[in-house]
Chain A
Amino acid sequence: MLLKRLTDACGMPGGEGEVREIILEEIKKYVDDIKIDRLGNIIATKNGKPGYPKVMIAAHMDEVGLMVKSIDEGGFIKFAQAGGLDERILVSKPVLVGKNKIQGVIGAKAIHLQEKDERETPLKTKQLYIDIGAKSKEDTEKLVKLGDYVAFDSEYVEFGNNLVKAKALDDRAGCAALIETLKHEYNVTIVAAFTVQEEIGLRGATVAAYNINPDIALVLEGTLCSDVSNVPEHSYITKLGNGPAISLMDSRTIFPKNLAKRIFDLAVKNGVDIQYRLPSPGGNDAGAIHTIREGVPCAAISVPCRYIHSPASVMSKDDFEGLKKVVKLFLEDIKEGEYIRD
């Protein structure tokens, strides 16, 4: 299954190779041209009819994770963050280190040995280490190099009411939806950008958008969903199972209202569940795309993901199916000449 293969694959910011290979293999039959740019973005073009606009659709390949920073005398690995992680969730998580996916676990001093104030404050990254079961520094160095990426070891699992638990749903869900989108035929020209380094500052999308120079852009994402215990309703951002979420505003973009509303109304008209993603912090590739060159009208449609940026993010398969439907509906709704700049 595509989403399982994508989320089980590892691709930290700057090390997206494994994910890129899966995507290239998946899309090659369905597009007219494929390029990999100098930062590592996949730029795949599917030609439409003349007179219709060029639509950039972006989904980022990278996920949050860790990077090997040093190896101590005992063979334990100290690490840095690659992308925004809540360091309180790190302790005791199984991880995979480097290209060969060496198994390890993030360790810390046992609770029995901690002083009172240590027990009361969450552990910081500098107090944690990765244990790969090595006997010494030399032993670890045979398997691990400085700069190796570290991914969470967390399998794709389906559970509950049509839900999925996996790592990296942000944004492999978007990648999977984009791949599926490319399998249909449209009047518009689609330039799919599977971007790199979103999690560390929208870097891939910046150069991809400059290069593509689109008339209009869509960003497919996994986004915040905190419809959970102890959160007041006005802080939910999105609700799981209520359909894909259209962005209004985040830290990096104020989305054009007419475009967001057009997509929202189109979904409603066609009986597809849809919701607005409530204005809140965070940002996605739209932040880079909408201010490139002379500016690009941009919409972001996301699958709500609980526990995002953790080894166990959770999404609804219904919302994922909804995302694919909404994107297809919108692409088919774009008329000749629309959004084309003079």
Chain B
Amino acid sequence: MINRDLLKRLLETFGPSGNEETIREVIRQEIKDYADEIKVDALGNLIAIKRGNGKKIMVASHMDEIGIMVTNIDENGFLRFTNIGGVSPFTALYQRVMFADGTMGVVGMEKLDEMKDLALNKMFIDIGACSKEEAMKKVNVGDAACFYTPYVQNDDYIMAKALDDRIGCYVTIEALKALKDCPNEVYFVFTVQEEVGLRGAKTAAYGIDPDMGIAIDVTLTGDTPKAKTMDVKMGKGTAIKIKDNSVLAHPTVKNLMIETAKENNIPYQLEILEGGGTDSGAIHLTKSGVPSGVISVPCRYVHSPSEMVSVKDVKSSIELLVKVLEK
């Protein structure tokens, strides 16, 4: 069963990197009855602890999403902006954006001779204000906004912005709820600032000093027309990471995941991501080193307003995470 109400809240809540207060509160409310202890660290990571006598395991999924930050407001009330994380000017164009207080705007562009010249510094946000004074009643320089697209779901797929990595948060929350007799001490961490360089995971892992790290994030797929070759397909099961640009999955963690998937008949595929990185990249280099791996949800159109994942893959990811933690 997919909890549609929770998914909607996770996928439509504001939370660009560095501005995770609102999404953190949504998650905190959802998990507070299931954890033995909950805390927030100096950078804003939400850490929920499920006590146990076994190994210390850190499970990380990031709360933040890509977005924009306002850099200037002109005399006519138009906002100039810069990117927070990987924002392409071509996907940003004419998208709606939402500020923390619910103020909405649309991304427009200056007149360009050629579309290939499109760049963020030739674009602006229109919030329907007629003057600088009017705009500044709603928005200030330094304010962040996220892209705004309502979420869509049927029995097969989920389509939304910020599936990267709210679907990872969803998997983590459902695993926390489902975890019954766990011999291990599990730290469920909802990290900040992954999209700008794995910054939250770095400080969280230092504080926890875990015996093992598992990040839950999305990965790309190679199953769309003339896609870059990649042996991950949407709908073919959870993906167990072999490598990306930030981490080589530790053999013990990777093999534990593969064996667990086999034993429980959980559909899985192996993932080699050329480019990109996840929180495990920061976790595995903490202190003297932490054996780390990643459970990925295959996702098409990452960092677009309509990222897409398969419901089946979400379910198999939750199942694999629960079984691994119980082992």
Inside 8 A of B196's CB, which chain A residues have their CB? 254
A279 interface neighbour in B74, B142, B199, Cβ under 8 Å: B142
Q: Quick one: closest A residue to B72, CB to CB?
A: A234
Task: Determine if B71 and A278 form an interchain contact, defined as CB atoms under 8 angstroms apart.
Answer: yes
A276 interface neighbour in B74, B121, B142, Cβ under 8 Å: B142
Inside 8 A of A293's CB, which chain B residues have their CB? 203, 206-207
Q: Is A15 engaged at the interface, CB distance under 8 Å to the other chain?
A: no
B25 → chain A, closest Cβ, in Å? 16
For chain B, the count of residues having a C-beta within 8 Å of the partner chain is: 26
A182 → chain B, closest Cβ, in Å? 25
Give a binary string over B106-148; 1 marks a CB under 8 Å from any A CB, 0 the rest: 0000000000000001000000000000000000011000000
A280 interface neighbour in B19, B82, B203, Cβ under 8 Å: B82
Do A291 and B69 form a contact, CB below 8 Å, given A235-B121, A341-B42? no
Q: Is A296 engaged at the interface, CB distance under 8 Å to the other chain?
A: yes
Q: Quick one: closest B residue to A248, CB to CB?
A: B142
Inside 8 A of A292's CB, which chain B residues have their CB? 203
Q: Is B193 engaged at the interface, CB distance under 8 Å to the other chain?
A: yes
Task: Determine if B203 and A279 form an interchain contact, defined as CB atoms under 8 angstroms apart.
Answer: no
B111 → chain A, closest Cβ, in Å? 15
B194 → chain A, closest Cβ, in Å? 12
Complex Cα gap A295–B69 (Å): 23
B87 → chain A, closest Cβ, in Å? 13
Give a binary string over A286-324; 1 marks a CB under 8 Å from any B CB, 0 the rest: 000011111111000000000000000000000000000
For chain A, the count of residues having a C-beta within 8 Å of the partner chain is: 24
Output the residue of A234, A257, A276 with the most chain B CB within 10 A. Answer: A234
Q: Is A207 engaged at the interface, CB distance under 8 Å to the other chain?
A: no
Which residues of chain B from 72 to 105 have any CB-CB distance to chain A below 8 Å in the complex? 72, 74, 80, 82, 84
Inside 8 A of A297's CB, which chain B residues have their CB? 42
Q: Is A141 engaged at the interface, CB distance under 8 Å to the other chain?
A: no
Complex Cα gap A10–B42 (Å): 37
Q: Is B50 engaged at the interface, CB distance under 8 Å to the other chain?
A: no
Task: Determine if A294 and B142 form an interchain contact, defined as CB atoms under 8 angstroms apart.
Answer: no
Task: Determine if A291 and B74 form an interchain contact, defined as CB atoms under 8 angstroms apart.
Answer: no
Complex Cα gap A13–B204 (Å): 31
Complex Cα gap A257–B99 (Å): 15
Which residues of chain B from 44 to 80 have any CB-CB distance to chain A below 8 Å in the complex? 45, 69, 71-72, 74, 80
Output the residue of A235, A255, A291 with the most chain B CB within 10 A. Answer: A291
Q: Is A249 engaged at the interface, CB distance under 8 Å to the other chain?
A: yes
Q: Is A233 engaged at the interface, CB distance under 8 Å to the other chain?
A: yes
Task: Determine if B142 and A234 form an interchain contact, defined as CB atoms under 8 angstroms apart.
Answer: no
Q: Is B178 engaged at the interface, CB distance under 8 Å to the other chain?
A: no
Complex Cα gap A296–B207 (Å): 12
Task: Determine if A291 and B142 form an interchain contact, defined as CB atoms under 8 angstroms apart.
Answer: no
Give a binary string over A242-284; 1 marks a CB under 8 Å from any B CB, 0 the rest: 0000001100101111001000000000000000101110000
A233 → chain B, closest Cβ, in Å? 7
Complex Cα gap A252–B197 (Å): 8
Complex Cα gap A31–B315 (Å): 60
Task: Determine if B202 and A291 form an interchain contact, defined as CB atoms under 8 angstroms apart.
Answer: yes
Q: Is B278 engaged at the interface, CB distance under 8 Å to the other chain?
A: no
Q: Is B41 engaged at the interface, CB distance under 8 Å to the other chain?
A: yes
Inside 8 A of B206's CB, which chain A residues have their CB? 293-294
Task: Determine if A254 and B84 form an interchain contact, defined as CB atoms under 8 angstroms apart.
Answer: yes
Task: Determine if B207 and A294 form an interchain contact, defined as CB atoms under 8 angstroms apart.
Answer: yes
Inside 8 A of A294's CB, which chain B residues have their CB? 41-42, 203-204, 206-207
Q: Quick one: closest B residue to A252, CB to CB?
A: B197
Complex Cα gap A290–B42 (Å): 9
A234 interface neighbour in B43, B71, B203, B207, Cβ under 8 Å: B71
Inside 8 A of B267's CB, which chain A residues have their CB? none
Complex Cα gap A297–B44 (Å): 10
Inside 8 A of A276's CB, which chain B residues have their CB? 141-142
Q: Is B17 engaged at the interface, CB distance under 8 Å to the other chain?
A: yes
Q: Is B18 engaged at the interface, CB distance under 8 Å to the other chain?
A: yes
Which residues of chain A from 36 to 61 have any CB-CB distance to chain B below 8 Å in the complex? none
Give a binary string over A209-251; 1 marks a CB under 8 Å from any B CB, 0 the rest: 0000000000000000000000001110000000000001100
A291 interface neighbour in B80, B82, B121, B199, Cβ under 8 Å: B199
Complex Cα gap A279–B206 (Å): 28
Inside 8 A of A290's CB, which chain B residues have their CB? 43, 199
* 15 CB < 8 A contacts A-B: A233-B72, A234-B71, A234-B80, A254-B17, A254-B196, A255-B18, A260-B142, A278-B71, A279-B71, A293-B203, A293-B207, A294-B206, A294-B207, A295-B41, A295-B203
6 further A-B contacts with Cβ under 8 Å, apart from A257-B19, A293-B203, A293-B207, are: A235-B121, A254-B196, A260-B142, A278-B71, A294-B41, A294-B204
